[in-house]
A and B are shown apart, each in its own frame.
Chain A
Amino acid sequence: MPKTIRFILNDRDMQTSLPPGMVVLDFLRRDQRLTGTKEGCREGDCGACMVLLGELDGDDVRYQALNSCLLPLGDVRAKHLVSIEGLNHPGLNPIQQSIVDEGASQCGFCTPGFVVSLTGFFMDSRDMHIQEAVDEVAGNICRCTGYTSIRRAIASLIEQYAVKLKGFKDRIKSLVDLRFLPSYFLGIAPRLKHLKEMQAEAEAEEKPVLLVAGGTDLFVQKPDVILNEDIKFISSRKELSGINLSHNLCTIGCATPIEDLKNSPLLQKMFPRMSDNIGLIASAPIRRRATVGGNIVNASPIGDMIIFFLALDASLTISNGKNVRRVALKDFYKGYKDLDLHEGEILEYLSFPLPAEASLFNFEKVSRRRHLDIASVNSALYIQKQDGTIDHARLSAGGVAPVPLFLRRTSEYLSGKEITPAIIKEAVRRAGQEISPISDVRGTAAYKRLLLGQLIYAHFMTLFPGIKVEDLI
């Protein structure tokens, strides 16, 4: 690992030899004493520490709002890191002014995070829809306002600026002209190009030890361990990111951010509700960092992506650098957080057969709070139909066993059956025999048991709108 990390912090060229595993929040607040970025929770659940990270994309710089408490310093190498201080110029910018005018800041602790998130929205949004802006701040918790005034501020900004910012080309320049951004943003692209060249030279010598993907779980669970490790980021292996189709197989690189799945036209065509489903996972800034592979190896029994892909008969491509092997996702989990993954191996790809023509798919998730919360129970159902019967079915469920569960017996039971209320009820009964939920902060065992049954009903009601409610419950 090169000892020096070079990047741009606001308008300054920076180099530091601090550990690459240090999170940007600590770098800003403790090392730089830039205290506008606030520490609220250190686990990506409040958004008070939001920063912008700009990365070269051709000749342009593309910015995204990210939680700095989960962003390692090593991953800002050759990028433009922007804290709230880097957005200020004399007087207030339009976002700041709108927040003041609408009374959208009370105690003020969360406010810099909202300003940064909204700035990210205006830098990155193509359509400027109000709903998109709301989603951009959905990872920002405010305990004072009740969000009504924040919604008003957003609405007023969009009303004033959506038209002026139409078109994505030269967005940064437009934002500088409209005083959203200080003018130094115009000179960032060439500076980043220069940094990138320097980085390429330095990278030739690196010797990675610990591999980190997005780190959105790791930095919550083991920040102290990572701080002292020599780490390398999987994100640097570009070939592991992306969604491709070939030979009736859809292949997703394990370093693909979950947000890319949400926005993938390819996946949306296969799963029309995909975008809404993934919208229930974490928040936009977390989804930009969190990866498919990370969710899989974190092995949470309630991992949303795992449950989703279990029902799609997905398999994993695993490599140790020399040999490559494949394992079915449903066989990957041997026990609680116990994986079929050996020392030196990494997950490279997830792939699943393309859904057949006459197939149906549904994903359900229930959590205490609908957004940015961990499920009490989640479940997915894939059904391949043949004339009014089920040719075969695959049912998965999270939060009901020590591992993300593929309900093999219930799936087998459903295969070859006609879709009738009696069959569905029997499937629920059989599912109940396959699961072993425990009581924890996500709910009591009794609740999870009941809820899975309800979600199985929900699958069928969603996929077969003709089913009568009163026949089921």
Chain B
Amino acid sequence: MKSRDTRINFSADAALHTRGESHFIDDAPLAEGLLYAAVLTSPEAHGKIKNLGTKEAQKVPGVRGLFTSEDIPGENQIGVIIPDEPLLAEDTVDYVGQPLALVVADSEEAAGKAVRAIQLEIEELPPVFDPRKAFDKGFLIVPPRIFSSGDVDSAWEECDVIVEGRAESGPQEHLYLETQGAHAFPLEDGGVKIISATQSPTGVQRAAARVLGLSLHKVEVEVLRLGGAFGGKEEQAVPWAAMAALGAFMSKKPVKLVLHRHEDMCLTGKRHPYSSDFKIGLKNNGEIIAYEITFFQNAGASADLSPSILGRTLFHTTGSYYIPNVRATGISCRTNLPPNTACRGFGGPQAMFVMEAAIFKAARALDVEPAVIQKKNLLKEGDQFHYGMRAHNCQALRCWEAVEKRYDCEKTRKRVEEFNAANPLIKKGLYFMPVCFGISFTNKTLNQAGALVHIYTDGSVSVSTGAVEMGQGVKVKIIQVASRVFSIPAHRIRIESTNTSKVANTSPTAASTGADLNGKAAELACRAIYMRLKKEAADELGKENPDEIEIRDEAVYYQGERTDITWNKLIQSMYQNRINLSAQAHYATPGLNFDKGREKGEPFAYHVFGTAITEVSLDCLRGTYEIDSVQVVHDGGTVLNELIDRGQAEGGIVQGIGWLTVEELLYSEDGRLLTESLSSYKVPDIYFAPEKIEVYFLPDSVNPMGIFNSKAIGEPPFMYGIGSYYALLSAMGAFRPERDFEISAPLTPEKVLLSLYG
């Protein structure tokens, strides 16, 4: 199994990466006559633009063009859900870092110098950064949205215990190691070609066409690969690509725009911070009867994907649990921060974090372990979510019980209790974290994909899809699909760059759906050619029924017997006989429907389940801690590539832990990002990441909605990281049993110490 995967991996990108030969956006060969772009951004969080004087800047030697909103040939608008985001600010600025003007010049230095020479006067207006304050003032992105089931208001009467509280979760910088960037080339017919580091080639194409006033067929977007994305290159790759395109279109020269790290950190949006009020009601036996919650989402200055992200928060309000009476209100608040955006989990983690807060507090009120409440309320087969869908093929309890057994949790709990009794200053904490995550774009339209497959006359195969490779292994998975359908080795298959002229109208590679949607489209295209191959082979052999033909390991079999027709020979005959060796196919996820009026329906193709148990050690003298282990049983369906899925799970867990522990973004009072470099924003390093992460894939889980019965893997494991927060809180509780701690992530060593002694 492993050696086979390794071979497949080798033919994709990993080998190139280890040799430093894979190209990222800043590595592409430089074009003749290339111009470098630099962007003037707002130093103020909110204000009126009084003067944008470009005269001096124009005179800087080497400057080839300087563009403001007035120079935009098309529409100055890149907002995708709501048209509320100009590419370059017009009359007002709404956050520190908002682009105001673009300079293209012969060198990076000249472009930078010109940007500094622009005279900018802004009349300050009062900014708002707190989502609750924005709500009070009525600054909303969209009207509030309410999901409900049962009858919450009367359900409180049935409850023995009711607990209320507030939970805060912080923003998270994606910190893809490759910063944002794009190259743009003017084309002879007035169009542009853009090489972009984006998860959404079609999104870039549409935005650039809109800004330049071009029709879509005059804008070609190509993506080779991304050096990490995590949602941060779904919408937010767009401005830089659109600006590069603007520069190239106006100057008729190729333009490169790649952000430096501190620019990237200051100018781009983050995972949304949420402030939430919750109320939970339970029976004495731990059964959850009612749950009411209001989410205040800090959207930043424009909509970006915030409404959609808020939607997923509402879908995942109850996490892995069945609760009969639910009312969840989502409020997307407009503030003067850079527009917050998609980030692994897409609003789901924020919801599950609060659900666990409610359970943690309820457990304290009932004087039981949180695990008692968690296990008792886990989703069972056929349980109805508050949005109407029922849990199908539900693996929640199986995963939980497999964790208990496989990792001997009873023994671990005893060991932790004994440790805590014996150690006054170091305390250990333990927490179960069950995850249930819905797979599909919640915007039904996006659940479609295309693929284009060619077989060349030497028998080698080219596959194009709309999927973008960003380290998640989608190229390898699609190679596996083609390799399996044609029964040829991986090295004969190449996954092409993602290009809007090869596969059009693509959905972003996001929502964990990349392999499912594009893999299914590739499978359909391969199967279409496969049918023709079988017919051709039958003809060659003088047989009537193509169904008795099979291709296995590059040879044609008839009725199970190997013939002397090889793959190469068959391809040659196809060509000689003028039979089409290419196929295009389209896949649309079946069965999705959701009624936004009633907020009920079946928004997901399926759910991914799993449970993690996390153990931590806390130094109660210094407030420092270590995440000792995370042990998981994960439902990956019939796992398509264990090496890749394990890597996605491990990486997701550590990123999730980072979000809740050490990754802290701090802003000045006037809205400037203070933690704008890797020396002040700390992500997990090899020492901080748990040394022990074990991921066991649940056996005997099938999923016909996924590619070859597998399940999507990108996002769900991120939420296992939530366990680290509550494990730490448990350890703090072991040191200060009398204290009821605030729920406010990230739980930095500072917050730990102030909570223990403050």
Contacts and interface: CB of A to CB of B under 8 A. Distances in A.
B685 A372 contact: yes
Interface string A76-105: 000000011100100010011001111101
B64 interface: no
Given A38-B24, A144-B651, A108 B227 contact: yes
Interface stretch (A53-61, A109-117, A164-172, A336-344): A109-117
A444 B623 CA distance: 14
Main secondary structure of the interface of A (DSSP, over half): loop
A448 B472 CA distance: 41
Interface stretch (A147-155, A235-243, A383-391): A147-155
Given A92-B18, A106-B651, A446-B758, A368 B750 contact: yes
A107 B225 contact: yes
A65 to B, nearest CB: 14
Given A36-B21, A107-B227, A100 B425 contact: no
Contacts of A134: 686-687
Secondary structure of the B side of the interface?
loop
Nearest to B656: A146
Contact of A148 (B16, B18, B693): B693
Contacts of A43: 677-679
A103 B646 contact: yes
A105 B18 contact: yes
A46 B678 contact: yes
B533 to A, nearest CB: 32
Contacts of A366: 622-624, 749
A140 B260 CA distance: 18
Most buried by B among A35, A85, A367: A35
Contacts of B626: 370
Contacts of B14: 99-100, 103, 105, 108, 111
B754 interface: yes
B20 A106 contact: no
Contacts of A83: 20
B532 interface: no
A145 B177 contact: no
A137 B685 CA distance: 9
A31 B230 CA distance: 32
Contact of B686 (A35, A138, A373, A457): A138
B18 A40 contact: no
A441 interface: yes
Interface string B715-758: 00000000000000000000000000000000011100110011
Interface string A445-456: 011001100110
A369 B682 contact: yes
Interface string B467-479: 0001111000000
B674 interface: yes
Interface string B659-693: 00010101000000011011110111111110101
Interface string B219-253: 00000011111100000000000000000000000
Nearest to A473: B621
Nearest to A146: B654
B685 A141 contact: yes
B647 A149 contact: yes
A327 interface: no
Contacts of A151: 686, 691
B424 interface: yes
Interface residues on A, range: 35 or more
Interface stretch (B5-13, B301-309, B319-327, B453-461): B5-13
B27 interface: yes
B750 A376 contact: yes
A144 B626 CA distance: 20
A151 B677 CA distance: 26
B443 to A, nearest CB: 26
Given A96-B18, A149-B650, A451-B623, A45 B678 contact: yes
Contacts of A99: 14, 17-18
Contacts of A455: 622
Interface string B161-194: 0000000000000011110000000000000000
B217 interface: no
A75 B178 CA distance: 28
B22 interface: yes
B650 A370 contact: no
Contacts of B18: 92, 95-96, 99-100, 105, 111-112, 115
A40 B264 CA distance: 11
A45 B677 contact: yes
Contacts of A441: 666, 674-675, 680
Contacts of A85: 20
A454 B177 contact: no
Contacts of B230: 143
Contacts of A457: 621
A438 interface: no
A125 B291 CA distance: 58
A315 interface: no
B643 interface: yes
A373 to B, nearest CB: 6
A36 B19 contact: yes
A371 B679 CA distance: 11
Nearest to B735: A473
Contacts of B691: 151
A66 interface: no
B12 to A, nearest CB: 10
B17 A105 contact: yes
Contacts of A368: 662, 664, 682, 748-750
Interface string A434-473: 0000001101101100110011011001000000011001
B20 A469 contact: no
A46 B177 contact: yes
A92 B16 CA distance: 9
Interface string B578-617: 0000000000000000000000000000000000000000
B720 to A, nearest CB: 11
Contacts of A470: 424
A147 B647 contact: no
A447 B749 CA distance: 10
B496 interface: no
**Which of A29, A146, A220, A372 counts the most B-chain CB atoms under 10 A from its CB?**
A146
Given A35-B27, A106-B472, A369-B688, A374 B679 contact: yes
A106 B473 contact: yes
A103 B9 contact: yes
Given A40-B261, A138-B686, A92 B19 contact: yes
Given A137-B686, A454-B622, A106 B19 contact: no
A252 B752 CA distance: 38
B15 A138 contact: no
Contacts of A36: 19-21
Given A138-B685, A146-B653, A108 B471 contact: yes
A88 B680 CA distance: 34
Interface of B: 2, 6, 9-10, 13-24, 26-27, 29-30, 175-178, 225-230, 260-261, 424-425, 470-473, 621-624, 626, 643-644, 646-647, 650-655, 662, 664, 666, 674-675, 677-680, 682-689, 691, 693, 748-750, 753-754, 757-758
15 contacts: A35-B26, A84-B19, A100-B9, A108-B14, A112-B17, A112-B20, A137-B686, A141-B678, A146-B651, A147-B686, A148-B689, A149-B647, A366-B622, A366-B623, A450-B757
Closest 6 CB pairs between A and B?
A36-B20, A107-B471, A108-B17, A146-B654, A109-B227, A106-B471
Interface of A: 29, 33, 35-43, 45-46, 48, 83-85, 88, 92, 95-96, 99-103, 105-112, 115, 134, 137-138, 140-151, 220, 364, 366-374, 376, 440-441, 443-444, 446-447, 450-451, 454-455, 457-458, 461, 469-470, 473
Given A103-B14, A143-B651, A454-B757, 13 more contacts: A36-B20, A43-B679, A45-B679, A92-B15, A106-B473, A106-B647, A107-B226, A111-B20, A134-B686, A148-B654, A368-B748, A374-B680, A469-B621
